[in-house]
Structure formats: structure tokens, C-alpha cells
Amino acid sequence: MSCTENESGPFVVFFLPAVVGCLTILLARRWANSQVSNTSSTAVSRRRKIIKDPLIKRPLPQITTKMMPPGSKKTTGVNKKGAFTVADEEINGTGKKIRSSRAAPTTPPNVVSEVKLADVPVAPKHIPFPYIPQDGNLLFEAMTFVFTLVATGLQFLNLYRTAWWLPHSYTNQAMNFYLIDPHLVAFIVTIIFRKLLLSISLAILRGVLAPKLMPHATIAARMFILGVVLGALSWCTYFIVLKYPVVKIFYLLYPAVIYFLLFGFQSGPFLELNTSDPPLHCCTHDAAQIRTEVEALRHDFNDRMKKIIFNSVVGAYYSSFIPCTFAQPYLYYEVYAASQQTAFVWAGLFARYVSQLVSATYCDVPHRSALHLGRWKPDNNSCTEGTEVATWCAGRMWSRGARVSCNGRVYIATTPAVAADPASVVHTRFHTVFANPSLLLCAMLCLQLSLIILQLCLLFSSIQWHNFLAIVILLFINYYTLFKMVRDYLVAWKVYKAENMIQDKNGPLHSVPN
């Protein structure tokens, strides 16, 4: 049916839906307003509505007791605010109950609790350290082996390079390979490949054997790899002895003497970078246990530093110094360039081992122990009259501001909780290093950044092509180490800054022990 036949068609199609929509909107708004007014009418209605709802569980109101002074008229019953008061009753000899009034304490209860809390040191607050991904053992050893092997090749390039680009040159090779002793190269490669060989063997065993068989397989693999490495070194040394004098053989075996002085007859540090499990921290209030944990962490840190120094020195020694020592007497080479190469290799290896063994994740454990250990400092104002000084006791914790006497000197506690020995220099040094590990990480970062800036300056000032090539290649691994150090420092700085803010917010009470 068309519109001409029914004139009411346009009204039905266009205007009727609009009118219905407006009415619907008005009704919806009115219903919403009525619901709001009903829910917020009075406080009584709100309470009734909450009580009738079985899904909502409200906590019971706390019952407070009001203590009335002696002589008050209202000693029993309920007060106006609903607080109950109870009177003390006693039974006399006649069997009758009489009321007895007790004197109110002169010190309020809250003051007593504050005095008791003041004698107890405030426990330090720890923030969970975020997860920072670290290089696995296999990846780290592979990258270190490639870095040291490339450094060895670059040092041989500095020694045996040729002018192969000249038009009338008698050789078309960049190095005089016939002057390089193959047994010496095999000895160097065996030394720098020993840890990677064990890492590869253990990775294969983990993928093949069951976990319960891994401890025995690890011991067997270490013994087998140690025998293979010592056998290869002995075979290479035999042929080197036939060609060179005894003095150079002493240069070749000199790091073995240093190894026995540092580690004794242990084979673990020779084959693996870190054979011990990572240390753990236990939050405790026992002073003796805290000092025992600090001693264990100190020994672990010293062992790590010995491994860092020894492995970095051995890597630079065999990759850069030994090729110069075994060079032919008639060979002329630039001593400055060879020495520069040795220094750069040692600095690069040292930074790599530091970023792996003394990372931010590792430093967080000694940091927590250092907060519990605390620190003493000598008190120069100990002669002031009216100050009481207690004798230091090894079995208790001390709070900030406490003054103790130890070995004829007076010390004052400078941290919220102190368990350290005032006369121990080791405890003072441990707290100085690990109270804020971000400072230690920042120092390592500054050293690495200085190394890279120095290499860049030499890169733009060097003219010879072999020096330019050596610096460029060594910069790649140093950039990666710089990235790891910057990441660790930024994370540690943020975490310990927030931790210091929490410590300042929950400030400890200052007290002097009796």
C-alpha cells in the first residue's frame, strides 16, 4: 500500500518510533532516580539492607574496655557509648563480696609498649630482587673461548704480519705461517678450550642421562676431561722442550705455580668457573648466626674474586704474552702494540668474568646479610659525662645509637640493627662494600666505560691496519659486557633506592641500652 492511498503512513513510519523512544528514556531515568533515592534514604535502611544480605560478611565490632579511676560512681554497668567496665570483687572472711579499688598505673599502656619496642632493634626490610637473565654456562664459555681465540690470532698477526699488498711482495698471505710453532698453538688452544670442553660434555650428558645419574656422570666427566687436557698439554710440552731453552719452558708453566698457591690441588677451578652453589640468605635475629653467614659469604666472594683474577690473567697470558715470548730472536715486532693488545685482552676478560660471577643478582644476597650485620664506628665523644656505656655482648643484637666498649675503645651503632664485632675490620669492610651494591656495580661500569672510550680514542688515532683491526674486533665483546653492566646497575640502583626509601619511612627508634 502506497502513501497516497493511506495518509497516516508517514506518521507511523517516522514519528511513532521517536515518541516511543522518548517515553522509554524518560521512564528509564525516573526509575534510576528512584533506585538511588531508595538506597541512600537513611542510615537505618542501609544497615537493614546489609544485614539481610547473607553473602556479605561484616566483621564484628571491637569491644573496648574503659578503665575508670578509683572513687568513680559508675564502676559497673554499661556507659553511654556501649563500653563495658568491670569492677574488681573480693571475698572477705565472712563470705561477703566487697569491692576493692586498684590504683591506676602511672604510665599509660602505650608508653610501656613503646619503651619495650625501643629496646628491640628494627629488622631491616628487604625488597624482592627482580629476575635478570644471565648467560648460561655453555654460552658464556663459548663466547669467552671465541674471544680468547680471536685475541690469540690478532697477537700472531701483530708478530708475523706481511706486506702482502705491495706489488713486488714475495708472498700473497697476510701472515708468515711457517714461523708459527704448531705445538705452541696447540698448547694455547688446549688451555683456553678446557672449560668449554667440559661444558659441552655436561650439556650432552644432561640431555641423555636421567637426573639421578648426573652427579656420578659429572664426576666421571671431570676426571676424563682432566686426563685428556693434561695428556694433550704434556704431549705439546714435550715437543716444545725439544725446540726452545729451559727459560721459555718456565714461562710456559709459570701460571701452574700461581694456581697451586691460590687453589691448592683442587681440580674444580681449573675446569669450571664456579663449582659451588649460589649462596642463600636467612633472615634471623641471632647475632652469632648472622656473623657465621657473613663469614661464609665473605669466603665465597673472595673465591669468586680469585677465580676472576686468575682466569683473566691466564687468558691474557697465554693468548697475548706467550706468543711474544716464543717469538724468534731475529723477529722484529712493535713492543708497544703487543703490550697494548695484552692489556686490552686482560681488561676485556676481567670485565666478562666480573659481569658473570659478581652480577647484581649475586650481590643482593650479601647485601641482605650486610643489613643484618650492621656497622659500628668509634665514638669520639665517649668522655661525655652522664652517658652510660655497656660492654659489648656477642650474643645480642644492638640498635642504632647504642654505645658499647670493646677492647678498651667505645663504639656507637650507626645502623638500625647491629650484630657485627666492633673490633673486626672484616665486618666493617663487608658492610662498606655490600651496604649499597649499586656503588660497586657503578665502579665496575665506570671501568668498563673507560676501557671502551680509550679503545675508541686509539681507534681514531691508529694508522696501521693490524692495530685498527685488533681494536675493532675487541670492541665487539666489550660492548656486550657494557650492556650487561649497565642493565645490572640500573636495576640495582632502582631497587636499592626504593629500599632506602622504605627504611627511611619506617625509621627506627633511637635508644641507648642500659
* Grid cell locating 13: 513510519
In a domain, residue 110? The reply is: no
The answer as to whether 483 is a domain residue is: yes
HSE (CB half, 13 Å, CA atoms) of 198? 28
In a domain, 327, yes or no: yes
Spatial separation of the C-alpha atoms in residues 413 and 463, rounded to whole Å: 59
Instruction: Provide the 8-state DSSP code for 508.
Output: P
Three cell numbers, residue 187: 698448547
Instruction: Count CB-CB contacts under 10 A for residue 208.
Output: 9
The set of cell numbers assigned to 155 is 697477537
300 in a domain, yes or no? yes
Predicted structure pTM score: 0.74
Q: Which three cell numbers stand for residue 347?
A: 681488561
In a domain? residue 17: no
Q: DSSP secondary structure string, 440-501? A: HHHHHHHHHHHHHHHHHHHHHH--SHHHHHHHHHHHHHHHHHHHHHHHHHHHHHHHHHHHHH
DSSP string spanning 400-440?
TT-EEEETTEEEEE-SSEE-S-TT-HHHHHHHHHHSSHHHH
- State the sign of the Cα–Cα–Cα–Cα dihedral 195, 197, 203, 205: negative
* Helical packing angle, 465-505 and 335-357, nearest 10°: 30
Q: DSSP characters for 45-58?
A: HHHHHHHH-TT--P
pLDDT tens-digit profile, the chain (514 residues): 444 444 444 444 345 555 555 665 566 556 555 544 444 444 444 444 444 444 444 454 454 444 444 444 444 444 444 443 434 444 444 444 444 444 444 444 443 344 344 456 777 888 889 999 989 999 999 999 999 999 999 999 999 988 777 777 777 787 888 899 999 999 999 999 999 999 999 999 999 988 899 999 999 999 999 999 999 999 999 999 999 998 889 999 899 999 999 998 888 889 988 767 777 888 888 889 999 999 999 999 999 999 999 999 999 999 999 999 999 888 888 888 899 999 999 999 999 999 999 999 999 999 999 999 999 988 877 555 556 788 888 888 888 888 888 888 889 988 888 999 998 899 999 999 999 999 999 999 999 999 999 999 998 887 788 888 889 999 988 999 999 999 999 999 999 998 888 877 765 444 333 3
The angle, 0 to 180 degrees and rounded to 10, between the axes of the packed helices 437-461 and 465-505 is 160
With contact defined as beta carbons under 8 Å apart, do 87 and 69 qualify? no
How many structural domains does the chain have? 1
Beta bridge partners of 84: 65, 78
d(CA 368, CA 281): 7
Q: Answer yes or no: is 15 within a domain.
A: no
Which residues form the domain of 341? 137-180+273-371+425-505
152 domain residue, yes or no: yes
Give every CB contact of residue 93 below 8 A, 6+ residues apart in sequence. Answer: none
For residues 149 and 141, give the distance between their C-alpha atoms in angstroms, rounded to a whole number. 12
CB 315 within 8 A of CB 148: yes
Residue 62 lies in a domain: no
Going by C-alpha positions, the residue among 176, 222, 175 that lies closest to residue 201 is 222
CA–CA dist 343, 312 (Å, integer): 11
The one-letter amino acid code at 43 reads A
